[in-house]
A and B are shown apart, each in its own frame.
Chain A
Amino acid sequence: QKEVEQDPGPLSVPEGAIVSLNCTYSNSAFQYFMWYRQYSRKGPELLMYTYSSGNKEDGRFTAQVDKSSKYISLFIRDSQPSDSATYLCASRGAGGTSYGKLTFGQGTILTVHP
């Protein structure tokens, strides 16, 4: 079993829709949770960075972490064609040997059509 599981999609939605992207993880030591967006032929771009459980909002993006169920979510409101990309969730522990090592999900391919 992978430590971080993510449905690869693809996911296709109309412009303006609310998008929900999800991941589950199995490692109880994970404390930091991230969402990255990756356009074709580009490196991952950091969207959201959260610590422990709770919600974090940044513009049209909201990240949710539920450590009790080991569930990570990213919501995109008023989706735009420019949001079309691969979305990667990632997690890591809080210290020691976990510092540098992010564990990524497979990525979900999202297409927002006009």
Chain B
Amino acid sequence: DAGVTQSPTHLIKTRGQQVTLRCSPKSGHDTVSWYQQALGQGPQFIFQYYEEEERQRGNFPDRFSGHQFPNYSSELNVNALLLGDSALYLCASSLGAGNSPLHFGNGTRLTVT
């Protein structure tokens, strides 16, 4: 049973560039959430996608956007990268947009130079 998979595992970008991160949810899950985890901190909620729509959003600027595809996979896009965007980006999947527990992937480590 495949868990949550994310690609790429590591990425180095330059300030001002744009980046796309990808996520495939755990088998049987239909909801994807994205989190940003800075070094030494807990994850912070970016947004959640369910039925191909953004359902919830955390306190992140519009430079952060996403998409969910009919097969439930998802992308996170970040435009105009800042040094402060360097972090581990985690994708979590769950069943439905309700109260089922979240299962996380191993993340994409983004470094902005």
Contact = CB atoms under 8 A, between A and B. Distances in A.
Given A99-B48, A99-B99, A100-B33, A43 B40 contact: no
Interface residues of B, number: 28
B85 to A, nearest CB: 19
Contacts, number: 69
Counting chain B CB atoms within 10 Å of each CB, which of A8, A45, A102 scores highest? A102
B101 A49 contact: yes
B56 A100 contact: yes
Interface of B: 4, 31, 33, 35, 40-45, 47-48, 50, 55-56, 58, 90, 94, 97-99, 101-107
A36 B103 CA distance: 10
B90 A43 contact: yes
A44 B91 CA distance: 10
A104 B44 CA distance: 7
Given A41-B106, A43-B4, A101 B42 contact: no
Contacts of B55: 99-100
Given A100-B47, A100-B50, 11 more contacts: A6-B42, A43-B90, A45-B104, A99-B48, A99-B55, A100-B55, A101-B33, A102-B43, A104-B44, A105-B42, A107-B42
Interface of A: 4, 6, 8, 32, 34, 36, 41-46, 49, 51, 88, 90, 94-95, 97, 99-107
A107 B104 CA distance: 16
Contacts of A4: 42
Given A32-B99, A42-B106, A43-B4, A99 B42 contact: no
A46 B102 contact: yes
What 6 A-B pairs are tightest by C-beta distance, nearest first? Answer: A100-B48, A104-B42, A43-B104, A100-B56, A43-B106, A101-B45
A107 to B, nearest CB: 5
19 contacts: A6-B42, A32-B99, A43-B104, A43-B107, A44-B43, A44-B104, A45-B104, A51-B99, A88-B42, A95-B98, A97-B56, A99-B48, A99-B99, A100-B48, A101-B48, A101-B58, A104-B42, A107-B40, A107-B42
